Amino acid sequence: MRSKKRPKLPARMSRLDKRLTAWRKTRTPGQRIPKTIWRSAAKLAAEYGLSKTAVALKLNYECLRKHVEQACENPPSAHPFVELPASSFPIASECMIEWEDGDGAIMRMHLKGGEVPDALALGHGFWSTDG
């Protein structure tokens, strides 16, 4: 039987994994993960994705998601979203976009063909608190 090899982690994630492993070896039972580690994990999750980060660092997905949400609610100084010009995306014949808000509401867009709707306007409507 072949054993599953652990995929090579990005350098920053590997460093945090080592910090977490060291902390886990020395912690007392019931001790919570330090906030500095959660903040670092939330930053990595924003870059690499919640699921991948939670699995790689052996963290609870829901706890990590909550820390990511907190980081987005209280960003250090920058806006958490980046707008890219449409010309930077290759034209695909089909793609799926999925957005989820903090309350669990989900909006999925299945796009076919070369035309792309105004995703920014759709997102604004999705997150709007009006009626």
The domain ranges of the chain are 11-73, 86-127
Q: Which two tokens stand for residue 106?
A: 């989900």
Q: Across all residues in the chain, what is the average pLDDT?
A: 76
pLDDT digits (tens, 9 = 90+) for 31-65: 999 988 998 998 888 888 888 899 999 999 999 99
The residue with greater pLDDT, 125 or 87, is 125
Q: Which of 116, 114, 96, 115 is nearest to 106 (CA)?
A: 96
Band of residue 17 on the pLDDT scale cut at 50, 70, 90 = very high
Q: Are 73 and 80 in contact (CB under 8 A)?
A: no
Classify residue 99 by burial, with Cβ atoms within 10 Å: 0-12, 13-18, 19+.
Answer: middle
In this predicted structure, which of 16-20, 70-74, 88-92, 95-99 has the lowest mean pLDDT? 88-92
The pTM of this model reads 0.52
Print burial letters for 18-37: b (CB count within 10 Å at least 16), e (below 16): ebbeeeeeeeeeeeebeeeb
Q: Backbone phi, then psi, for 116, in 5-degree steps?
A: -115, 125
